[in-house]
Structure 1
Amino acid sequence: MSKVVDDLKSFQAYVALLDGDEKGEAQVFCDRLFKAFGHDGYKEAGASLEFRIKKRSSKGTSFADLIWKPRLLLEMKKRGEKLQLHYYQAFNYWLNAVPNRPRYVVLCNFDEFWIYDFDRQLDEPVDRIAVSELPVRYTALNFLFPEDRQPIFNNDREAVSRRAADQTAELFRSLVGRPQKPIPRHEAQRFVLQLVVAMFAEDIDMLPAGTVTSIIRDCLKHGMSSYDLLGGLFRQMNDPKPAKGGRFVGVPYFNGGLFAEVEAIDLAPGEMALIGGEEGVATKDWSKVNPAIFGTLFQQSMDEKLRHQHGRHFTSEADIQRVIGPCIVRPWQARIDAAKNRQELLALRRELSEYRVLDPACGSGNFLYVAFRELARLDIQLMMRLKLMISRKDFLNQAKLLSVISPRQFFGMDNDPFGVELAKVTLMLAKKLALDEAVETFAEGEGEFQRGTKEFAFHNEEALPLDNLDNNLLLGDALFMEWPDAEVIVGNPPYQSKNKLQAELGPAYLHKLRERHPEVDGRADYCVYWYRLAHDRLKDGQHAGLVGTNTIRQNYSRHSGLDYIVGNGGTITEAVSSMIWPGKAVVHVSIANWMKGDAPGPKRLYIQEGNIINSGWRFADLDRIPSSLSFALDVTKAIPLITNTRGGCHQGQTHGHEGFLVAKETAEALLKKKPAYSAVLKPFMISDDLMGEQGGKPSRYVIDFTGLELLEAREFPELFSQVETSVLPDRIKAAKKEAERNKELLDDNPKAKVNRHHEGFLKRWWQMSYARADMISEITELPRYIACGRVTKRPIFEFVSPSIRPNDALTVFSHADDYTFGILQSSVHWLWFVERCSTIKSDPRYTSNTVFDSFPWPQAPTGRAISDVAAASVHLRDERRRLLAKHNITLRELYRSIELPGDHPLKVATATLDDAVRKAYGMAKKQDPLQFLLDLNLDLAKLETDGKAIISPGLPPFVKKPAQFVTADCIQP
């Protein structure tokens, strides 16, 4: 290690010789830095200087001073520059340094390094190191060594926050889980919240240091009463009259509503140890706890069932910035940068002080906290610009109002009482922390703002008493309340699908919701209501940004939400098409930021690649982001074709209860003994059978009494008995529960529409829930039918014998010919599927109403073209069977292998099929297939509107001998 230290000391000596000129000396600084950490130089290490990064807000390119993927992005500033003013620039550089984004971002001004790990911590650097400290503190820059050592940081707020959150939640669980006389949930929540504020306050100079810890340790060591002492502390924090003597001298007046009601608790010794023991939560440095802890605390203390009912999901800071940045920071930053003089800056500051932010599903207030912090930082930037234009005396006079941002500019709504109280506290703390940051920035070089002076002292007085935010943070259901006025609307509204919404919140709520908002399609996701209401409340030039499920860009949810927004004066300015949610919730989300009115300049659209949280990103700058949030041509405006909707594409059978399923071995033994049972006991294929280890063979059987009356079904006693024993009791229970829910709804509104699904299932309890009789009728008339997995990244089609029943995990096409198979299996059809499909999480779904119904078929294929498509499809299936047998792999594995680079027989066969299909359409070689299909779809829709016939899916009607295109291969039982 002595050589490392010697090299770093040599680097220090060299840096001392530099003037700290960003333009003239940054590059040589970077090169010497890499040499000090054991490289021959930055170039030899593989780093690049002046790395081009596309700008987000305008055309053109920015240049990061150094980038070394995937480890480091280094941005240099001149000596003496305040690095905190360049945080957002560094964050934007990092955000757009894709693919293979660097893990660490470093800001440097020749004298100190500020190290960021944005994947873990956005608010502050994970460490700050002076160049003078490098020989003893270099471990924080361990990632600079050639072997990429693990860095050791001194300001990892995420780690501190998680430990504090876990211990606080443990205390809460102890209080409500006491074996005797548990503390009521709402009292425990309030007590823990008051305690958290007190612990924060003593570490950010709002309470005398060690206040909480000394109280608890006196209780533990000397038998004093926690009921008296903590209760007394909280009551004093709510008393405008300061204590004249005793233990609480120096405790200021907090107010804010949080301490208006104090329910003192007599803590057990173990609970006190959780607070003030050797490793107790009060011993943590709460000044390093990120206020986003409140979101974690909120989730951990909240009832699991209640959280699930309301679709609540914790939002990380990085994802909050994907809304706050486009909607708040960048619009304001552009205005501040454009200001030319003192008058314009002061006018902007006045406007900033009146700017209102609304989160209509605020939870614990994380969006509002980040918005407060970023607006306060914008105010600091504005002041630092002003400092360059006015005298020192005038600047100090302006800076007496350290921050113009007030908690009273922030509004939120939520239907959880504890969440609302958390949000109030979060904003109260945001005010104090923003004032501290302003002091830190203004104080450098300004003696009047140094700690301990009169000018500094008044800022603590400005932080207290805490603002009472009872009129800002409102308790209630935002979908049934008037929203406060605001210039920007942000947040992460709850999301539930239509089916889950009814199951979780009940038909009565669902009926009221639809009655109140009939303009929203009843099949849309719950979060769509917030998108619609937000847009209706915006005025021209105002912004909104919301997180939603990725269904907001699909089907009914898109129609009621993003389609409505872009169709009514909205412009999507920045969006995330799809990303994995970084929490316990197994869900994929989309993020849409928009402005009411025209927004000049390019619009940026992101998508996360891969299926893990830290997978790569890509983006594109577009003139317009469509409501589909798609990079490709927007085909969401394609119209369902009447001829396509008349049949031919179906969802498989939904059995609805495990009691209808029979193990393969059991079924085959029964059929061997009683062959007549084959009329109602059928092989039952799922998607995994088609694609996986079963090699295309069904793995189980299904009892299918479709079309049989009760007495007819009883003629198969072994099967009937199984259904009667296992299915009937559950259907009785489900119908009873449904009837009770419907009674509640009808008592409230006798005219309300109610669901009677389970009532219907009970009437024919011996039959599957959805047997798809029409589909079965169609496929049993055919020698074979086509099927593919309904949830699939790439539809892979196969012919199946009609003796096999398709499960609802399959999409079924009632066609037997090779021409139809070829069109469906072609890349032309796959591209349409990619852009039109809906999703489950990130997995695309093939459904008739999203893909098939709008897909236009070739309208004038020649006989030769039809033959070529059919022949190419037969050849492709022959190649598949040959490769599967030769390599002993599954169909899924075979198709995954063609995603790899290099030659592949199946790639050749697919290319041959694609060429034949394009010729059948009359599509030029270089023509964009999506544009061609969209134009054809719109033309055909117009023809149907005019009453003219078009060619429907399948073989064209002019084919006189369809049997010549029907070969024999198909999956058999």
Structure 2
Amino acid sequence: MDKWQGVTASELSTSQTFLIDLCHLLGVDTPHPTAEQDYMFERPITFAHGDGSTSAGRIDLYRRGAFVLESKKLKLGRHAKGFDDALLRARSQAENYARALPAAEGRPPFVVVVDVGHRIELYSEFSRSGGTYVPYPDPRSHRIALADLRKPDVRERLRKVWLDPLGLDPSRESARVTREIADRLARLARSLEQANHAPEAVAQFLMRCLFTMFAEDVKLLPEHAFRDLLVTHAEQPDVAMRMVRQLWIDMDAGTEFSAVVKDTVLRFNGKLFKQPDILPLDRDQVALLAEAAHAKWQHVEPAIFGTLLERALSPKDRHKLGAHYTPRAYVERLVLPTVIEPLRKEWTEAQAAAGTLADEGKDKDAIAELRRFHHRLCTVRVLDPACGSGNFLYVTLEHLKRLEGEVLNALDELGYQQADLALGGERADATAGETVDPHNLLGIELNPRAAAIAEVVLWIGYLQWHFRTRGDVHPPQPVIRDFRNIENRDAVLAYDGVEFVTDEQGRPVTRWDGETMKVSPVTGEPVPDEHARKPVERYVKPRKAAWPEADFIVGNPPFIGNKRMRTALGDGYVEALRGAWPEMPESADFVMYWWHHAAQLTRRGAVERFGFITTNSIRQSFNRRVLEPHLGDKKQPLSLVFAIPDHPWVDSADGAAVRIAMTVATRAATEGVVREVTGEREARHGETDVSLRDRRGVVFPDLRVGVAVNNALPLKANLGVSCPGVKLHGSGFIVATDAARTLGLGVVAGLDQHVRPYRNGRDLTDSPRDVRVIDLYGLSANEVRVRFPEVYQHVFEYVKPERDQNSRDSYRENWWVHGEPRGSFRPALRSLNRYIVTPVTAKHRVFQFLESEILPDDALMVVASSDAQHLGVLSSAVHVAWVLGTGSTLEDRPRYIKTSCFEKFPFPDLHAADKFAGPIGVAVVDDNGRAGPTETYGEYPSDRIRALGEQLDAHRKRQQAAHPGLTLTGMYNVLEKLRSGEPLTAKERTVHEQGLVSVLRQLHDELDDAVLHAYGWGDLLPALRVAHGNDPAPEGQTRDDAKRAFDEAILERLVALNADRAAEEARGEIRWLRPGFQNPDAARDRDPEQARLDTDTAGNDQPDPDTTPAPLPPNTKPQPWPKDTVDQVRAVADLLAASPVPLSIDEIAARFTARGPWKKRLPKLLEMLVALGRAQEKDGVYIAS
């Protein structure tokens, strides 16, 4: 230590020499290179980046299964007081290395940061499953100064980091304590209940005992006072209990001298000791209590109360109330992404802002930023609406206190005098200032005993943290307070009362109690006992239960399946529940009512994020129906940001293994992480160690990862050629064909242009109506009255009265014109003799041509092209996958959205695609449906797609014309049956024969083949052939697996192609779908050969001199540079996170606009983001970590 005092490590060799000397001091082996690379200096590592690239790095010192160690690297230049960028950067780099280690090695439990000659910092993450590394053992003592190495306990701690890192996990010691005494306490609880003491009285008595044991072990009471009392009077249990009662009276009020313990007793207050009732124990029961008092209660896991409560409850009550005890690692696996990670993101932003301000010499502003975040932390509210005995809230509290400790450390380093802050964990009051304490944690719990225990759990957790960080300093009195933050009530159903149902004679209606059995005298088997009955209940004025205001919601609601709800909860309760929540499907499990309520609050902006543990059946259709409306809403988007679809669970009461899912959602349209279980290993005491693997992308309702299609941009090439059909706003515009003749159709000159055939979605998918629509767009009311008086009178009588009541001025004043006549889009159709349509909402995504004389309804999406190659691409499996991934749904039917499904869809570059190996032969079907000889088309995919598109459209129309009752829905239902291999019914066989559906299937298969080759993605054809039932699925896979793989691959490639096209368009290279219409000036000046390739071959698309292209907004627009420093940090971090490619400082600056020298701050902001692990820098460009 004398050797290294004050030495600064500016070279790698200096750091290695220091670490070798440290190993000698600790008595551990020194690093040595091996083939396994398990303990060495300069361990090579490979980073995989989001853009697909990789980069190399080297860990200063690595020991597998123990730690990643990084030394501080000196950096020339000014450093802000209190913000050692080099140490921050070393910690961030170490955590990045830990994440980049091969999955087979797992993440080490420790990250070690060394400032040679000064200090060593320890950070731990004992679950080793992707959580945040936090200061170890806490934020006030994780730094080991060089002089501290003289202390034996410090050297032993570091030695364990090398040799037994998991032995330093404090939860293992607390779990050991918990397991040792849980059985004894449960035996005592059962013994007391068997002595005819009420379970609630037993629970309250034991809670007071347990807290008293904890209080004496942390020296809130004189040391061993309670234990010695029990031992001294073991043979006089009645005396012991009377003395215990007096002690509790003293603890409630506080006293300068207690005769029981012969010393001062602090004022504890709270609700726990208000009623100091005791139970008459016998000698054995006092001995059990004394045995429990010998445990190390200062190390107890507060969730022991959950274990005690779980084992004290009967199996029926345990099942009904969902009171499961969860291993701490499992709880953290949900709490961290739900609550802590978003707060830590805010913390890094506050740190970066404060560091930037301090670097500019604005120390007061830097302190203000940190204090602002501290206030945010001290006022955050976390709700568990099914809190049980409080284990989720307890774990949340501990992590909030850890984060608060880091904030207070940062304020210390800036020299802030914290007289008005709660250093180390003192709670908020008028004199001590703000702090995180149990008032931040809110709960709802139906079981009154569990609700009471939850409050005790939180106070024990808070006090543990106090003594861990403040030593033997007593907290302010009263030691505990009644914040009334745990509500004892139903979380999903509120009601005024419960009454018994009676019959006409006023007698109670009863039913079998659902559990009592008797032996049948006939079969000898157990049968329900008809005499064991319970009254049928009716809930008075049932309604949705309200939840207290909260920023985050997290918890583990009851596991009761839909089919067991009536048995577990009672008919009256279930009927009241479903009546109060009519929008919930009756197929939903009980837990989904919590999920639905939290989703509603989050989408409204009342809650930032929520996370629940549910049964893994949340992925199945009967529960997915709850998720889908929330995740599919475009106006108020909700996204899953974290999910584990299938995770092991241990029921602490009986050891039963169950499977659960975890889901975390937030209000945004964003990507998430699906953490998949890759391995399970039985651990000690019935727990399971789980290995996990992350997959990032859009998380769908079935908890699988997809592609972030919402990142796709509108393409100029597609703008101006798609639009929904007209919206009438007046049913009187529609007339039957016969009625149209009475209006002059076929007689009055020019009327055929204004009384036109009309089609909506059902006309296409089912049987078309024989109707026409009056279309007077472009005419004044007076012109209509002069030229077509019969039509004028009809509209005046059948449309105007309805329009007169419309609140929109334009609808009332232009009553003879459709509400939305699509005037700006009509020029796109003017020169075409046909155009493409698809129903907006339909079970099957079908495109077809309509003649130009037909006017489409707004239930049809129109594509203004007469080219069959466009029809072919849109009809392919490629586009269908895109539509399903980017559109929305109405009930269970996909909806085609113009902006996302069409305007963002990148068509293949049909003429740039590779030629096929020779001319293409396509089977032709004659007018009678018989297969004829193949016809030969050109060498390009476009030629083949165009030919197949024509055949597809002609085939369907021909078969429908030959069989008037044949519908597209019927034909495509049968096509799906053929692909699935299911047998056809007699009715379906008729459809198959009339529609020649096998020929239809062949046309689609060949079209998919052609389109995939046009994109250059022929490698995906095998998966599509399996998905469509043409080839068998590989062993271990299903047709659905192949379909999912194909869809995900298509979406991923289309999103990438969309980004490429958007980049091209930003450079001015636009692949117009209809260049003659969309860009007529450029089309006139084109090379004749190129013009031939790009012009619609149907020859109907001539530019209209009266038409101008639709305005084309730029893909990106600079945003205003925020004024607030934290907002500036957030804006830059969000920009990097959204960018698929690294950005230079100049490129980042170009994305913002402001006056003044604001750009000078960018380098420091980026430096802080890199130091804090939010960004990475390489060769002068930056990308999000």
- Report the TM range for the smaller structure's normalisation: 0.5 to 0.7
- One-letter identity of the residue aligned with 2:484: D
**Structure number with larger C-alpha Rg:** 2
Counterparts in 2 of 1:845-884, with a 5 A limit?
860=1000
1:413 aligns with 2:477: no
Shift of residue 300 of structure 1?
1.9
- The answer to whether structure 1 residue 530 and structure 2 residue 530 are counterparts is no
- How far apart are the structure 2 equivalents of 1:487 and 1:135? 41
The equivalent residue for 2:610 is 544
| Partners of 2:675 and 2:694 within 8 A in 1 | yes
Aligned to 1:99: 103
**Displacement of 1:334 after TM fit?**
2.3
Matched residue SS, 2:253: coil
Q: Give the corresponding residue for 1:629.
A: 703
- For the residue of structure 2 that corresponds to 1:607, the secondary structure is strand
Q: Which shifted more, 105-114 or 488-497?
A: 105-114
Residues 117 and 125, structure 1, Cα contact 8 Å, conserved in 2: no
Q: What is the RMSD of the two structures over their aligned residues, measured on CA atoms?
A: 5.0
1:268-295 alpha-carbon deviations (Å, 9 max, x no partner): 222222232xxx2212221111222222
Q: CA deviation at 1:484?
A: 0.7
Distance in 2 (alpha carbons) for counterparts of 1:62 and 1:571: 34
Which of the numbers 573, 579, 601 marks the counterpart of 2:641? 573
**1:249 Cα shift?**
3.0
CA contact (8 A) 1:493 1:547 kept: yes
Q: Quick one: distance in 2 between partners of 1:421 and 1:608? A: 35
Does the CA contact (< 8 Å) of 1:628 and 1:634 recur in 2? no
Distance 2:450 2:193 in 1: 27
Contact 1:363 1:414 in 2 (8 A): yes
Are 2:66 and 1:72 aligned? Answer: yes
Tell me, yes or no, if the aligned pair for 2:257 and 2:265 is still in contact at 8 Å.
yes
How far off its partner does 1:468 sit?
Answer: 0.8
Identity of aligned residues (%): 21
Change over 3 Å in CA distance of 1:628–1:348 after alignment to 2: same
1:357 corresponds to 2:382 = yes
String of CA shifts for 1:760-814, please: whole Å, max 9, x gaps: xxxxxxxxxxxxxxxxxxxxxxxxxxxxxxxxxxxxxxxxxxxxxxxxxxxxxxx
Displacement of 1:219: 0.8
Task: Give the superposition deviation at 1:630.
Answer: 0.6
Query: Take 2:99 and 2:200, find their aligned partners in 1: how far apart are those partners?
Result: 41
Rounded Cα–Cα distance in structure 1 between residues aligned with 2:196 and 2:58: 57
| CA distance 1:493–1:25, shift in 2 (3 Å) | farther
Offset of residue 409 of structure 1: 2.3
* Native 8 Å contact 2:1023 2:1043 kept in 1: no
Q: CA deviation at 1:41?
A: 0.9
Corresponding residue number in structure 2 for 1:284: 295
1:41 equivalent in structure 2: 32
* Unaligned runs of at least 5 residues, structure 1: 1-11, 441-450, 636-818, 830-856, 867-909, 922-926, 938-973
Indicate the residue corresponding to 2:676 in structure 1.
607
- What secondary structure does 2:570 align onto? helix
SS in 2 for 1:238: helix
More helix by share: 1
Tell me which amino acid in the other structure corresponds to 1:522. Answer: E
Richer in strand (by share): 2
Residue in 2 aligned with 1:773? none
Tell me, what secondary structure is at the counterpart of 2:643? strand
1:554 aligns with 2:554: no
1:687-721 CA distances to partner (integer Å, 9 max, x unpaired)?
xxxxxxxxxxxxxxxxxxxxxxxxxxxxxxxxxxx
1:528: how far off? 0.9
* 1:273 equivalent in structure 2: 287
1:461 aligns with 2:492: no
> What pairs with 1:198-347 in structure 2 (closer than 5 Å)?
198-220=212-234, 225-243=239-257, 245=259, 247=261, 249-276=263-290, 280-339=291-350, 340=353, 341-347=366-372
* Distance change in 2, residues 1:222/1:188 (3 Å): closer
Q: Give ranges in structure 2 of 5+ residues lacking alignment.
A: 74-81, 354-365, 425-430, 495-544, 682-687, 710-974, 983-996, 1007-1021, 1034-1040, 1052-1185
Q: Displacement, 1:397?
A: 9.3
Matched letter for residue 353 of structure 1 = C
- 1:626 positional shift: 1.9
The alpha-carbon distance between structure 1 residues 333 and 561, as it changes in their structure 2 partners (threshold 3 A), is: same
CA contact (8 A) 2:591 2:614 kept: yes
1:144 positional shift = 5.5
Maintained 8 Å contact 1:313/1:585: no
SS at match of 1:597: coil
**Rounded Cα–Cα distance in structure 1 between residues aligned with 2:631 and 2:270:** 38
C-alpha distance in 1, partners of 2:656/2:623? 20
User: Which segment is superposed worse, 515-524 or 109-118?
Assistant: 109-118
The amino acid of 1:550's aligned partner reads N
How far 1:73 moved relative to its partner? 3.2
Could you tell me which residue of structure 2 aligns to residue 379 of structure 1? 404
Map 1:590-739 to 2 at 5 A.
590-598=661-669, 603-610=672-679, 613-622=688-697, 624-631=698-705
Which amino acid in structure 1 is aligned with residue 218 of structure 2? I
Q: Are the structure 2 counterparts of residues 66 and 631 from structure 1 closer, same or farther at C-alpha, using a change threshold of 3 Å?
A: farther
* SS of residue matched to 2:600: helix
SS of 2:657's equivalent in the other structure is coil
What TM-score, normalized to structure 1? 0.56
What residue number does 2:453 align with?
422
- Mapped partners of 2:1050, 2:46: distance in 1: 41
Whole-angstrom CA distance in 1 between matches of 2:446 and 2:672: 34
Measured at CA, do residues 860 and 569 of structure 1 come closer, stay the same or move farther in structure 2, by a change above 3 Å?
A: same
Amino acid at match of 1:73: F
Q: Determine the C-alpha separation between the residues in 1 that align with 2:408 and 2:137.
A: 26
Q: 1:535 to 1:598 in 2, by over 3 A?
A: same
Aligned residue runs from structure 1 range 755-770, under 5 A:
none
Assess, with a 3 A threshold, how the Cα gap between structure 1 residues 535 and 69 changes in structure 2: closer, same or farther.
Answer: farther
CA change 1:407–1:134 in 2 (3 A) is closer
8 A Cα contact 1:367 1:490, kept in partner: yes
Matches of 1:366 and 1:192 in 2, distance apart? Answer: 18
Answer yes or no: is 1:189 the counterpart of 2:180.
Answer: no
CA shift at 1:231, angstroms? Answer: 1.5
- CA distance in 1 between counterparts of 2:3 and 2:315 reads 58
Within 2, Cα distance between the matches of 1:143 and 1:389?
30
CA distance 1:411–1:73, shift in 2 (3 Å): same
Q: Aligned partners of 1:377, 1:136: CA distance in 2, in Å?
A: 21
Amino acid at match of 1:575: A
Deviation readout 1:80-126 (Å, 9 max, x if unpaired) = 99999999999998688662353751344556686957249999969
For 2:227 and 2:69, the matched residues in 1 are separated by 42
Question: What is the TM-score when the length of structure 2 is the normalising length?
Answer: 0.47
Look up the equivalent residue of 2:665 and give its one-letter code.
W
Measure the CA separation in 1 of the matches of 2:61 and 2:676. Answer: 22
> More deviation in 290-299 or 611-620?
611-620
Distance (whole Å) between structure 1 residues aligned to residue 415 and residue 231 of structure 2? 53
In 1, are the aligned partners of 2:186 and 2:312 still within 8 Å (CA)? yes
Contact 2:696 2:705 in 1 (8 A): no
In structure 2, the CA distance between the partners of 1:102 and 1:151, relative to structure 1 (3 Å rule), is: same
SS of equivalent residue, structure 1 residue 259: coil
Deviations 1:189-245 (A, max 9, x none): 111111111111112232211111111111127877221121221222112455465
1:177–1:245 distance in 2 versus 1, CA, 3 Å: closer
Query: 1:569 is paired with a residue of what secondary structure?
Result: coil
SS, match of residue 306 in structure 1: helix
- Does the aligned pair in 1 maintain the 2:126–2:169 contact within 8 Å? no
Equivalent position amino acid for 1:628 in 2: D
Write the distance in 2 (CA, Å) between the matches of 1:582 and 1:94: 29
Partner of 2:467: 436
Q: 1:394 to 1:426 in 2, by over 3 A?
A: closer
Deviation, 1:522, is 1.0
Of the candidates 487, 490, 514, which is equivalent to residue 554 of structure 2? 490
Amino acid at match of 1:185: P
- Between stretches 226-235 and 612-621, larger displacement belongs to 612-621
Whether 2:488 is the aligned partner of 1:474: answer yes
